[in-house]
Amino acid sequence: MRMTDLRDQQLAWLDHITQTAKMSLTEIARAAGLTPSTLTRFRQNDAMGHTLTAKTVRKIEDATHIPAYETKNIPKIQFFSENEAARYSIGTDKDDVVNLAIDSLVKQTPTMDAWVLKTNALSALGYLPGMIVIIDREAQPRNGDAVCAQKYDLRRGTAETIFRVWRNPYLLSASAAGEPTAPEIVDDENVAIAGVVIGGFRTRN
């Protein structure tokens, strides 16, 4: 892909975000933790052919919940539910070796995220509530993999983060106890895989 092609894609994506989220470029930059003028300068410096870095793109994705270079007109998601897991934060325990290793891994690897499980849906695979799991958003899921997925209700404008086992084309629960949940069909519209669980850790209590 030529630089100009990538720049054009990024500009079209930003236009889509401003229209969908009803935010200005300055508001998007602030929400993403960027210098307020970053995106305005990016748009204005057309002759230079500059492109946004992968780190900046990821920050915008995280802030707006609109995937990189998505330009389709889809309903805006107003509410994200994280009942099954919470985003990992190192918090105040900065002396714990495992916490430091996870924090370093996530910061240095843009495709990886860390979550703290709340659900029993993967307990049969050894991933228990309270464990920190690492998600690789670029890994290709294989049958039997534990995955993180997004379940959308486009009519209500809501999305739910869930953790399941991938059995093409279904997502299944794997609880060591209790009734299994209803299977979800991955259609990349109502249900989409967000990443593959590549490991889990339990820190010292």
Residues 131-181 pLDDT 10s: 999 999 889 999 999 999 988 876 666 788 999 999 999 999 999 887 778
Residues 62-117 pLDDT 10s: 888 888 877 665 555 455 667 899 888 876 566 677 778 888 888 888 788 899 99
Which token pair is 85? 């897991």
CATH superfamily, domain 79-201, is Umud Fragment, subunit A (2.10.109.10)
Measured CA distances, 200 to 115, 122, 130, 135, 164 (Å): 9, 11, 10, 9, 14
Q: What is the largest CA-CA distance in the chain?
A: 61
Query: Which helix (DSSP H) or strand (DSSP E) does residue 100 occupy?
Result: helix 97-108
AA identity, residue 128: L
**Alpha helix segments (H runs only) across 22-53:** 25-31, 38-44
- Closest alpha carbon to 160 in 123, 203, 191: 191
The Cα 42–Cα 53 span in angstroms is 11
